[in-house]
Chains A and B, each alone.
Chain A
């Protein structure tokens, strides 16, 4: 099969294929396009990276292989089976050798550790004999894994036409102890589960962390003062403070796309309404009113609208309103209840939790409520969060009983279900944007 054939066979995007119009560009470049029934991951050869420290070169190559494999869109070939075990980034490959080995896409990389970590990489289309990617990167020496993620993003982005998402982090709730008295504290890790560390000590329960767009601020709910309240935590300094003093309880926070505002829920006397407030302080603005439970606000990527869930009509359903409140329109109409709506960073889809028929589902729909599709169903699953490229959703699922929750991810085509490795139970994932 030639690359051209594969490109034609594998259309990336939903049935309409709109997202992947770019994939049809008439160039000699290698592209993956993906469509449901015809999809096959692209085989790709990634020899170890050349390095004066071969172990390091292998480590970085393995990060890249692992990322691309976990994306579900690539199939990295067994390094031992390749014509060359260590890449050479400076020479043009002998394309015939690689074609004979049935390799269409070839990654050649080099990496050195000095004052900085410097790495260069080329991606070759062996059928066309053309370079698809040629780049070099420097990162600070304390974040060697990042160079692997940055390279992975360059490959992914160039070959699939979407943004990358590997150089990202996930903040989540690490859970330990018996279910009736679980300790829940904030933790942060790379998107692949590496470099996990705790952010809070567990002395008070912490839930529902969410990143600011620049990735340095986190908003979450903290039970330190009795009733839970929304806090702002700056990762670089560790400083934190309560977001606002309004009502009896504040929870369910989420940043606006410009990071300047947080929308959140305020409970008073059993009624829960949505407010917003500037992260620098000021008077909170009330966006919804009434005796119902209005929670789970999520801004549109342009900041003009807010999705939220409300049980004003009986069971929880998804509504949309302007970012200053008013005129809420219901957009979910299926059986059961709908919760935790989250707008894709691309603006094209809304992810949500749906409870129906005794099961929990993670699904997506268009922002007008049409085109609903379920991606995952189980005894319990909730809390979707988007990768910055709008193609992958992470959530948590709990088998119930004495067991505990785990983080999972799935792509918007409903493929490639993965468990994200964590030391213990984990819930409430929130995906960062691409790191600066």
Chain B
């Protein structure tokens, strides 16, 4: 039933590669990536798989410039995440906090942590056991979108929920 673990990992890596490539192409199309993975096409993965979380639930939320407030879209994504995580409680979760390059290095490390913390708090408020969650800030050091463009930077101001 479930995809075997190595294949699953490989698929996920491939999906991420596709994502990076797609972003690297620097699409200016509005809403090209509402959740970061929405345009990967059919094939959401088996129920309860990491692939399903990535493709059907959406693993990331985005923030406004220099903000760690959750937008309505972000809250909607996190609601879906929480429901999925509450259904499949065998996973541990790592929340990565990221910032765009339009800030200084140290401040963005702190900003990434603040974003991750907001997401952790939201998920726990929706019933996800805090014991399952860890978080880490990457500041601006791990962008996914590379170009000098506001639409790109917005893809980098993100918190990513990694299911482990």
Contact = CB atoms under 8 A, between A and B. Distances in A.
Given A227-B137, A270-B68, A401-B146, A316 B107 contact: yes
Contacts of A226: 134, 136
A48 B146 CA distance: 49
Contact of A309 (B107, B118, B144, B147): B107
A296 B113 contact: no
Interface stretch (A56-64, A100-108, A178-186): A178-186
A251 B109 contact: yes
Contacts of A296: 104, 106-107
B96 to A, nearest CB: 11
B50 to A, nearest CB: 20
A337 B136 CA distance: 25
Contact of A180 (B106, B114, B118, B142): B142
A295 interface: yes
A401 B143 contact: no
Contact of B137 (A182, A228, A252): A228
A249 B148 CA distance: 30
A409 interface: no
B104 A270 contact: no
B102 interface: yes
A353 interface: yes
A88 interface: no
A180 B69 CA distance: 25
Interface residues of B, number: 31
Contact of A184 (B113, B121, B134, B141): B141
A315 interface: yes
A339 B146 contact: no
B109 A180 contact: no
Chief secondary structure at chain A's binding surface: strand
Contact of A401 (B66, B110, B118, B148): B148
B136 A428 contact: no
A295 B110 contact: yes
A251 B102 contact: no
Interface residues of A, number: 44
Given A180-B146, A182-B141, A398 B68 contact: no
B20 interface: yes
A177 B117 CA distance: 29
Given A227-B136, A401-B148, A208 B117 contact: no
B105 interface: yes
Interface in A263-297: 265, 267, 269-272, 293, 295-296
B103 interface: yes
A152 interface: no
A331 to B, nearest CB: 17
A181 B148 CA distance: 17
Interface string A151-184: 0000000000000000000000000000111101
Contact of A207 (B20, B105, B117): B105
Contacts of B85: none
B27 to A, nearest CB: 15
Contacts of B137: 227-228, 249, 267
A251 B106 contact: yes
B57 interface: no
B111 interface: yes
Nearest to A381: B104
Given A205-B141, A270-B68, A296-B107, A355 B146 contact: no
A433 interface: no
A58 B136 CA distance: 53
A400 interface: yes
B15 to A, nearest CB: 15
Nearest to A295: B106
B52 interface: no
A299 to B, nearest CB: 16
Interface in A168-215: 179-182, 184, 205, 207-208
A401 B153 CA distance: 10
Contact of A383 (B104, B141, B144): B104
B68 to A, nearest CB: 7
27 contacts: A179-B143, A180-B20, A180-B24, A180-B143, A182-B141, A184-B141, A208-B106, A221-B109, A227-B135, A228-B137, A248-B135, A249-B109, A249-B113, A252-B109, A265-B110, A271-B114, A293-B107, A293-B111, A296-B106, A309-B107, A339-B106, A339-B107, A355-B103, A355-B104, A383-B104, A398-B101, A400-B147
